[in-house]
Amino acid sequence: VTGTAPERIRVHYRSAPVAGSSPAARAREIAIEQTAEVPASCIPAALEGPVVGIVESAEADGPDWRAVVSYDVRVAGGELPQLLTVLYGNVSLQIGVRIERVDWPAELVASFGGPRLGPDGLRRACGVAERRPLVCAALKPMGLDPEELARRASRFAAGGADLVKDDHGLADQEWAPFEARVARSAAAVAEANARSGGSCRYVPNVTAPASALARRMRAAREAGCDLVLLSPLVVGLDTLHAVARDEGVGVLAHPALAGAFFGPGHGIAPEVLLGDLFRIAGADAVIYPNAGGRFPFDEAACVSLHRALRRPLGGVLPSMPALGGGVDARRVGHWIDVYGSDTMFLVGGSLYEASDPESATAELASVVRGRTATNDP
């Protein structure tokens, strides 16, 4: 569009106060640190606009300082690694710098593409016609052999789970090497589907070394899998992007390592890291811990992230919020009231604890089947 400057990436930083400095001076330091990274006196004047971050606002806010620093989209060079670097690379090493929000240029978001499936596409993949939550069971623990993992997958599928995912710790260990266990679990779910007439999807974990990922993706596809699980912070956010864009599969993104970024006064807010960045990179579902489980996410935080994953963003599809980390199967009815239809529930331990995991899965499946969009919050 001739004559209009490109939109800028506006990053809302919160910073611990720095003795002898001011909110404006601190914001300018961040703006330089993340771009030119030379003393201000060494910055050629011509670079101040298009390259160095611009301090849009800076002010004290209670005990902390806040600043909005904007970056020309060209600084990110159209690449996720450089986008991460400009947002938080060096300032991560300073004290008390947190990204609380990012206003994204629509073209930048659209250029990465976002999810391929989103909530509706995931439901379609699972053969779910009505707009209701999805139930995802989990294969674990590691250490079981492929036969026993497949047996468990079969039971969850027979019980009516919409998806059965690998635990994120199932990799290529000697107890259950990747190709053997994925082929066996996929076949077990396919057989259960054939018996039941269902469309349960088996979701293998493809988090892998760079040199092994292509081989595992091929094995997963050959086993008939069209959805995979990946831990983006373990293998790099751009690996999620590459899989989502190039491999023709849907991706469930696991938050392993993400908690390192969730310090109260330092890091990147879950709404930005899991909510925006995972989604922009192409996560069809983003897994995170539900309130009341084994992790310290409270309901307000879960609702906020749930909203972030579905908010309008550069025209890309929403990601499906996938709540896990200790969801009690008996409480899923309650959580549907809280989150609504566009929710995936990952239920693991709670089904394993049941005397009969298959009928516990069936009970859980009947809860979500009764719910459609009409009762959405």
Instruction: Please list every residue from 231 through 290 that binds its own copies, using CB under 8 A.
Output: 231, 234-236, 238-239, 241-242, 246, 255-263, 266-268, 289
Burial class for 324, CB neighbours closer than 10 Å (0-12, 13-18, 19+): buried
Burial class for 125, CB neighbours closer than 10 Å (0-12, 13-18, 19+): buried
What residue type is assigned to position 196 of the chain?
S
* One character per residue 299-328, x = contact with its own copies (rule: CB under 8 A): --------------------------x---
Total of chain residues touching its own copies, rule CB under 8 A: 86
With beta carbons less than 8 A apart as the criterion, state whether 341 and 131 touch: yes
Nearest residue (CB) to its own copies, 29 versus 358: 29
Nearest residue (CB) to its own copies, 38 versus 373: 38
Binder to its own copies among 9, 68, 86, 149 (CB under 8 A)?
Answer: 86
With beta carbons less than 8 A apart as the criterion, state whether 200 and 126 touch: yes
With beta carbons less than 8 A apart as the criterion, state whether 133 and 161 touch: no
* One character per residue 206-225, x = contact with its own copies (rule: CB under 8 A): -xxxxxx-------------
Nearest residue (CB) to its own copies, 146 versus 198: 146
Query: Which sign, positive or negative, has the C-alpha torsion 292, 293, 294, 298?
Result: negative
Residue 88 binds its own copies, judged by CB under 8 A: yes
**CA–CA separation, 323 vs 346, rounded Å?**
6
Task: State in angstroms the smallest separation of the CB of 350 from its own copies.
Answer: 8
Query: Which sign, positive or negative, has the C-alpha torsion 130, 132, 133, 139?
Result: negative
| Cis previous bond, 119, omega within 30 | no
**CA–CA separation, 82 vs 77, rounded Å?**
7
Residue 19 binds its own copies, judged by CB under 8 A: no
Task: State in angstroms the smallest separation of the CB of 135 from its own copies.
Answer: 18
Site for its own copies in 100-159 (CB under 8 A): 140-144
Residue 75 binds its own copies, judged by CB under 8 A: yes
Task: State in angstroms the smallest separation of the CB of 124 from its own copies.
Answer: 27
Phi then psi for 318, rounded to 5 degrees?
-70, 160
With beta carbons less than 8 A apart as the criterion, state whether 65 and 96 touch: no
Site for its own copies in 181-200 (CB under 8 A): none
* One character per residue 22-61, x = contact with its own copies (rule: CB under 8 A): -------x---xxxxxxx-xxxx-xx--xxx---------
Task: State in angstroms the smallest separation of the CB of 112 from its own copies.
Answer: 10
Site for its own copies in 325-344 (CB under 8 A): 325
Binder to its own copies among 77, 127, 248, 315 (CB under 8 A)?
Answer: 77
